[in-house]
Amino acid sequence: MSEPTFSHLNESGQAHMVNVGGKEITSRRAVARCNVQMSPATSAAITSASLPKGDVIATARIAGIQAAKKTSELIPLCHPLMLSAVTVNISVGEGVVAIEAIVETTGQTGVEMEALTACSIAALTIYDMCKSADKSMVIGELALWEKSGGRSGTFQRPE
């Protein structure tokens, strides 16, 4: 296996923002997913909209969309991007909330970080809104599931 290269390090090993000016403009898309594990009673309270802070799913969806748009302000070496679309899908199962973020743009760099950030902040919002009912919730399994566009091509995580 070859040694990994880190594009965010210059010849001297110092962190820097990658110059994407010479890269081709392509359609880019990324899909990230994560889960929030919780008690079945908490997921039932989300479904029945009986938590005191209000509509957990709608609030988490909006938080995820806002987070995708603010990624370059949160991750130091990310480029600010003009996003074409951000979709945050949230489904509630017994004892789990599954979050999927899909981010698209046409540009010179990908949207993987935007999709991962959207999932993370949606999950943290769910935690915040439900913590009075369940402090034992666990946010986990955050991962990039798909990406397309750009020089490195397509990636798809095996199911």
Ordered by where they begin, the domains of the chain are 26-152 (3.30.70.640)
pLDDT tens digits, one per residue of 19-72: 687 788 899 999 999 999 999 999 999 999 999 889 999 999 999 999 999 999
pLDDT in tens, 81-122: 999 999 999 999 999 999 999 999 999 999 999 999 999 999
Are 28 and 151 spatial neighbours (Cβ–Cβ below 8 Å)?
Answer: no
Q: How far apart are CA 62 and CA 13, in angstroms?
A: 38
Rounded CA separation 58/74 (Å) = 22
Chain centroid offset of residue 42 CA = 23
User: Shortest CA distance to 103 belongs to which of 140, 55, 67, 151?
Assistant: 67
Spatial separation of the C-alpha atoms in residues 37 and 137, rounded to whole Å: 5
Q: Which residues are known to be catalytic?
A: 128
Is the pLDDT confidence value at 6 over 70? no
- Joined together, the tokens standing for residue 49 give 């909209």
